[in-house]
Structure formats: structure tokens, C-alpha cells
Amino acid sequence: MISPLAGTTRGREVVGSGAGGDQTIYLDQLAEQVVVEHLEKAYRSGLRFQLISEELGERDFGGDALVLADPLDGSVNAKMGLPYYAVVLAATQGDRFQDVRLGYVQNLVTGAEFHAVSGGGAFRDGHPLQPDPPPFDGRTIPVVQLDAPTGVDPREGAARILARAEKVRQLGSAALNLCHAAAGGIALQVTPAPVRAFDLAAPLLILREAGGVATDFAGRPLEGVSVRLDSRTTLLASLTPAIHGFGLELLGARVA
């Protein structure tokens, strides 16, 4: 339902403001309607939970467990017709990263699926995710993926890392970026300005279950960070501890 409208005037029409604080475009609204319809079916089948979605906010489905839904991660890409956007779902037993039990990300262009179960491993298209680590010579990082808003300051915060990158990408979907970090294609994910922790709940579980490591920019652990819509964090993430540690070294930080 999304891809035919990607890049169209109708798809990018602003229809309101979401609970996450961003403008809601028609593509966001349509994607959320599809997700909510499926969750309503789950409710009618007997499941009980609380929904937190980027557009509508919180909705009570009669239970304590949380379902986090970002129906269209990378919506700017989608509205411009750039083929890199995803649906993102997480299920948790609390409202912190350490409580996330299931993470699911689907690339809505290619159909590629990533998911992870806490303690049960990470998977791509239903098969265990067992990536080869990205190459690392101890001096340069092959591919750095940067998430930073327009402006100079956030990029300056990551300047020492970017100076050691062989290639820099800024792809536009936090969830897909972390999934590709979990698969080894992105050697280091760099997010120097605080972003919504909500967007990271599912893909960070995928990264960790694949054996990766993530902290904030000061090297502090993320387990206790809230995943609700009002929570923000910086991020440094990699499949390999060596590359992650090198990034922290360049920043003058250390793992807490």
C-alpha cells in the first residue's frame, strides 16, 4: 500500500501532527492504519497489550505489555520516493531498552525482514543472522553511517570519527541502519545528537542478539534508557567491539 504512493504529491500531503512531534504525512497515516488494523485483530484473538505508536500516541488494548510501532521509519525517504524505509515493531515487558523482548523490522521496498527475540538470537528473512565482521585495520573504519540533523554542531561532534571513515553514508532510516550494522554492512553507526529512543528499541535488540554493541556517545550503557516517545539518546553502535571501542577512543570516551 505504501510503495505506489512513495514520491507522489498525495503521499507527502501533510495531514496533521504525530504524537512523536513530527508532521504526519498521508503515507504515515496510511501505514499506521494498516498496523493498527492488525493489532485490533490480535486484540480480538485474545491478546492484551498497550500500544505506543509514533502518530497516534498511546492506545489501551487491555494489557500491561507494550507494543511499540513506527509504521513508517524513514518517512522523508518515502515521501521523496527514495527506496529506503521500513515498518518497525517491538514488544516489551517494560519501558526501557532492557525490557524489549521482540524486535521486528521490514524493509517495505525490498521485503527483507530482520527480527530478534531476547536471548533467542537475531534473524534475517527467517534465517539466523551470522554475519562476518566488517574489516578493520585499527586505523580506519570502512563505512560509517551518520544520523544527524541539518546543521554544523552535531556533525562537529562526530568529526574525529568521520575523519577516519573510508566512506560515510546518511541513509535516513534509523531502524534499517542498525539492522545493516547488525549484518556487518555498516561498520559503525554514529548518532551524535539525541534522537528518539523509541525508534531504536527493535533494531538495537537485533544488533545485540547478533553480537553487536551499543552505547551512547559518552560510552554509557543504554539498558536503562526509556523507550517512550519523549525519551532521547545519542548512539554509537557496531557489530564488533573493536570498531565500537575505536570510535569511543576517537571521541575521548570510554565504556562506563
CATH number of the domain to which 228 belongs: 3.40.190.80
- Span 127-142, mean pLDDT? 95
Cell triple for 216: 551512547
- What is the per-residue pLDDT for 155? 76
- What is the per-residue pLDDT for 151? 59
Q: Indicate the SS3 state at residue 197.
A: helix
> Does 169 map to a domain?
yes
Q: Distance (Å, rounded) from C-alpha 149 to C-alpha 251?
A: 19
Q: Distance (Å, rounded) from C-alpha 223 to C-alpha 76?
A: 29
Cα angle value 112/116/120 (rounded, 5°): 140
Are 20 and 71 found together in one domain?
Answer: yes
- Span 26-55, mean pLDDT? 94
Q: Distance (Å, rounded) from C-alpha 234 to C-alpha 90?
A: 20
First to last CA, the chain: 44
Are 71 and 159 found together in one domain?
Answer: no
Tell me whether residue 37 is exposed, middle or buried, using C-beta atoms within 10 angstroms of its C-beta: 0 to 12, 13 to 18, 19 or more: exposed
Tell whether the model's pLDDT for residue 68 goes beyond 60: yes
Tell whether the model's pLDDT for residue 131 goes beyond 90: yes
**Could you count the other beta carbons within 10 Å of the beta carbon of residue 97?**
24
Q: pLDDT band for 92, please (50, 70, 90 cuts).
A: very high
Tell whether the model's pLDDT for residue 254 goes beyond 60: no
Tell whether the model's pLDDT for residue 152 goes beyond 90: no
pTM, to two decimals: 0.93
Are 119 and 154 found together in one domain?
Answer: no
- What is the per-residue pLDDT for 157? 83
Domain of residue 147: give its range: 141-251
> Does 101 map to a domain?
yes
